[in-house]
Amino acid sequence: MSSKNQYLVIAKIVAVRGLKGQVKAKIITDFPERFALLKNVYIGEELVPYFVDKTSVVENMVYIKFKGCDSVEKATALIGKNVFVSKEDAIKLPEDWYFWDDILGMKVFTTDNQYIGIVSEILDLPANHVYIVQADSGEVLIPAIEDVIKSIDINNSIMIIQPIAGLLD
């Protein structure tokens, strides 16, 4: 199977629904409409391929019926696993939008070329995303806003920030 970084997480299976193998998954994408178009996905860290029979989105959850998953037992075995799509099948993002997978692991520098650290996690907060950067001095929280994020270079995995007052104290 190909490298894991060629896949994106779009949901996490949290429960079984009904008796015929349908699963309930928490949506982990800004594009829930994508579930209506799904034909195939990959499940778990092993990236096991599954064909999608049907989906139904309700608020921040999606109900998915996989072909061949026709019992509670088969569906239960999927609980806790992530649902992936290949990057080739990913939704095309608007300008200045990035996949979390592309941001995680980025090296962060200030506009003065001071190295801050590496993005280790992303918080999805109501106002904006926040990048957690592992620095020598500990964790640094970087708000993902225009005033702070000056450039993102996906190819070189580098983010340039303009720290606002108190951000690096």
18 pLDDT above the threshold of 80:
yes
What is the CATH code of the structural domain delimited by 4-88?
2.40.30.60
The residue extents of the domains of the chain are 4-88, 100-161
The sheet with strand 138-143 has its strands ordered as: 138-143, 129-135, 115-124, 107-110, 158-161, 149-153
Which of these, 102, 101, 100, 168, lies nearest to 135 by C-alpha position? Answer: 168
What value does the mean pLDDT take over residues 84-92? 85
Identify the pLDDT of residue 155.
87
What value does the mean pLDDT take over residues 23-28? 94
pLDDT tens string 127-144: 888 999 999 888 999 999
Residues 7 and 100: their CA atoms lie apart, in Å, by 11
pLDDT tens string 90-131: 878 878 788 887 888 999 999 999 999 999 998 888 888 899
Question: Strand pairing partners for 115?
Answer: 109
Q: What is the H or E stretch that residue 150 is in?
A: strand 149-153
Q: CA dihedral defined by 143, 147, 149, 150, rounded to 10 degrees?
A: -170
Residues 71 and 76: their CA atoms lie apart, in Å, by 9
* 100-161 CATH choice from 2.30.30.240, 3.40.1390.30, 3.30.70.100, 1.10.10.10: 2.30.30.240
Report whether 13 contacts 65 (CB < 8 A).
Answer: no
